[in-house]
Amino acid sequence: MTIFQKIKQFLLGENNTTEAPESYCPNCWGRQEYEGEFLEAVHREQIDLNNLDQKKGWIDAYATRYFEGIKLRTAPEGVVCGACATVYHRS
């Protein structure tokens, strides 16, 4: 799944909106208010579910710029966040 697809899923509410998109650090997503800032930016761009696909470029650029740092990386013990170093053990 691409970043765009994940974010689309997130905006469509297929994930619980208080949770980070899959493969991003839930700790950073919540605590550092990535979610709030992202939703605010989406609102500023006047992105809604009708024009979401046309705004793919903007969303990809935003994700690359702001979310790369909180992306979870695979580690021997599970996945680890590059920003806060929280380790999420595989369940």
Q: Which residues make beta-bridge pairs with 73?
A: 80
Alpha carbons 89 and 10: distance in angstroms, whole number: 23
Map residues 15-34 to x or -, x wherever contact with Zn ion holds by CB under 5 A: ----------x-xx------
Of 47 and 81, CB closest to Zn ion: 81
**Whose CA is closest to 64, among 7, 16, 15?**
7
To Zn ion, the closest distance from the beta carbon of 78 in angstroms equals 13
Least CB distance to Zn ion at residue 37 (A) = 15
- 3-state class (DSSP) for residue 9: helix
Which residue ranges make up the site for Zn ion (CB under 5 A)?
Answer: 25, 27-28, 81, 83-84
